[in-house]
A = this chain, B = another copy of it.
Amino acid sequence: MDSLTIIAASSIIAAGLAIGLGAIGPGIGEGHALGRALNSLAQQPDEAGTITRTLFVGMAMVESTAIYAFVVTMILLFANPYWNYFLSKVGG
């Protein structure tokens, strides 16, 4: 196997693991927060505005950990610096 193939294969495997593992925590955490939010809404309907606003800002923060994993996956697939280096070496 030449270098380009090794870099490509390990990037693909790493991308799959990063997004697969990285979706577990935020998925469970956001679902937990959402469930609590709806309980609060039922308990204090007058505060619906504050609750939903806080919920969605907060969920965006939880989502950010999933987005880190997504960003790394995208970098591994489309902007991989190691791939670019080996590509330029081959092309040079």
Q: Chain A interface (Cβ within 8 Å of chain B)?
A: 1-48, 50-52, 54-59, 61-70, 72-73, 75-78, 80-83, 85-87
Contact = CB atoms under 8 A, between A and B. Distances in A.
Number of copies: 14
Contacts of A24: 21-25, 27
A83 B25 CA distance: 30
15 contacts: A1-B1, A12-B14, A14-B17, A17-B18, A18-B19, A27-B66, A29-B29, A33-B38, A35-B37, A36-B39, A41-B42, A41-B44, A56-B57, A63-B65, A77-B81
The binding surface of chain A is classed by DSSP as helix
B12 A1 contact: no
A73 B22 CA distance: 13
